[in-house]
Amino acid sequence: MKIEKSLADLIKISNTVGKDAKLVQGGGGNTSVKTDDGKYMFIKASGSALKDMNEQIGWRKLNIEKVLSILADKEITRLDATKRETEVVKRLADCCCDDLNSNARPSVEAHLHAMLDKCVIHLHPDAVRAFVNAKDGQQKIDKIFKGWKYPPLWIPYVDPGLMLAKKIAALIGNYKSQYNRKPAVLLLEKHGLFVSSDSPNTALKLVSQTVGMMQKGLKSPTKPVAKNISIEEIVKTKLAIRNAYFKAAGQYVQAKFYIDETIAAFLKHKDIKKMLSSSSLSPDELVYANGTPVWLENATPEKIAAKLNSQIKKGEKIAKAFLVKDLGLFVTSNEKNAGVVRDIVSSSLFIRHNALSMGGIKSLTKREIDFVNNWESEAFRQKAACDSVDGLLKDKIAVVTGAGSGLGKSIAIGIAKSGAAVALADIDSAAAEQTKAEILKQLPSAELLVAQCNVTNETSVQNAFSQIMDNFGGLDILVNAAGIAPAFSLVNMPVEKWRMALEINLTGYLLMAKYAAKLMIAQGIGGSIINLSSKSGLEASKDNTPYNATKAGEIHIARGWAMELGKHGIRVNSVCPGNVFEGSKIWNPEYIKTCAKKYGIKPEEVIPYYVSKTILGLEIKGQDIADAIIFLSSEKARVITGQTLVVDGGQVMVR
């Protein structure tokens, strides 16, 4: 199906500028293209990224006359700010005239686009913001564009939304009176750049020309000599940040680390403290980074918590970005947004550095910050940026062994659905990748890591935990679920199968718990370790010597660990499932044949036979086991430790 030319032009200019990190950070910026008859306008949808726009998503079509009528309505301006901006959002939604089955909102700056030329590009380039966030920025800009016949229009800071649109409408009117045309370039104080033209190519060239002229003379600090950074210090700082966040705000966060030449250069900047003493430069910095990065010379949990408590006491959002002396940038965000925060911080440092040489940094005032934080449109954008999953385990970090199949897979899926970031540990990484794909199909925003891990090999286990620290920055939950069940009678038991069961079912549990406990103790905010045992660990089953022994052992070592780790707030419990058939590697055709022979029944009768042995007469599913583990991992079980939860439909009674 052929799309309208205006929409095709919109997608072209959006994708072009959206892929340039120097022009756009996160979902910031917006674009629009009007139809040839001037009646309609295709515009970027709020909260979407310019680079991701295509024929199906990222835009809305608006009736321009209806959009402009909002500006003309004097009744709206009499409302208080909160009611006014909420009403504007509603009115803009009513201006949509496309057939998209979407809740996507048109850009809240649609009014500005409506009053400008056919093609409009609004961006936040570093080079432009170095001037619009500088006290002497306007005077410098006047000199740069002195030779232009139609100079850029300077827009003094006004709160975003309807009032900004009204202010710009008045200034455009004055500009037209002076130059007999609309401005092609608008520079908004503490905000960014608008360009408009009659064609997409001209608009793109105008962006390049304007940014290029403003880029001249701007500098970054001299790159320092590269030095090795201690991995131990990075890990220690990540755990300190998680500890501080939890104790100051009761929040579980991921902690990412970044270092590159740009960040390293600013860490050595003689004015780094002065640069970071100013408040947020832009709404993007507030939405994605919760404000100015925090400078830390000594990143102890106590010092970080003190900073966070100070922000909480002032009614501010607590920081998501920390610049640590001699290390680098630490970001408390999920994978989707951590890179965005990194880019925003790098841009902010560049802008602050150059603004200092132009009379000083001009940042948002407390009143302006309060307006942005309470602005419904930014709240919507922040919610879209977070994109996290609510649930009993929201924002916790978990690792599940044996996540590639059977109960490990079911547990990993359940934990992800409950809001945790999950490391899928399995010796079969291809199987773990399949689990990851299945989770993402159901839950696209899930935070997942595939960690190839042989639980019987200490080096492999250490490497898996290094991956978890590198990706997530900590650990709250360990589920030991990898296991085997070699079924032989005593007289036919191959000793190598016995030893293999001991290695996987006991040594594997031990090694994973050892390194999980080390992390949790260092982190200092507690945690949960769960051993997946079996009803056979409570009541022995025939011809199952290795399974009986190891599953009973898993319960008992969990009790001992609970006694050891309780003083650190780490809870250790066991879950004993009944027979779970779906997706199980244990209940393979050979094992089913062995069971059929043991009970003198046909293979197809084995599963119904085992189900009939339960009091409830129900087949146990993987989700049933996952639900038990989610409960034990959650705050609802905060005083439960050293216990064994049997999930078997009423087959084994624990006394």
DSSP, res 605: G
Q: Sign of dihedral through CA atoms 484, 488, 494, 499?
A: positive
User: What does 351-384 look like in DSSP terms, one character per residue?
Assistant: HHHHHHTTTSB----HHHHHHHHH-HHHHHHHHH
Annotated active-site residue in 175, 547, 591, 610? 547
Region of residue 291 (left: phi > 0; alpha: psi -120 to 50; beta: else): left
Three-class SS of 266-290 = HHCCCCHHHHCCCCCCCHHHHHHHC
Among residues 530, 609, 612, the alpha carbon closest in space to that of 577 is found at 530
Please confirm, yes or no, whether 179 is among the known catalytic residues. Answer: no
- Inter-residue contact 351 to 133 (CB < 8 Å): yes
- Inter-residue contact 18 to 29 (CB < 8 Å): yes
Instruction: Tell me the C-alpha distance between 329 and 539, whole Å.
Output: 53
Instruction: Tell me the C-alpha distance between 28 and 46, whole Å.
Output: 9
Instruction: Tell me the C-alpha distance between 79 and 132, whole Å.
Output: 30
- Interhelix angle for 545-565 vs 508-523, to 10°? 20
- Residue holding tokens 């048109």? 106
Give the dihedral of Cα atoms 164, 169, 171, 174; nearest 10 deg: -170
In whole angstroms, how large is the CA radius of gyration of the chain?
30
Query: Dihedrals φ, ψ of 105, to 5°?
Result: -90, 145
**At 42, which helix (H) or strand (E)?**
strand 40-44
Which residues of 174-236 form beta strands (DSSP E)? Answer: 185-188, 192-197
- Inter-residue contact 226 to 237 (CB < 8 Å): no
> Which residues are tagged catalytic?
547
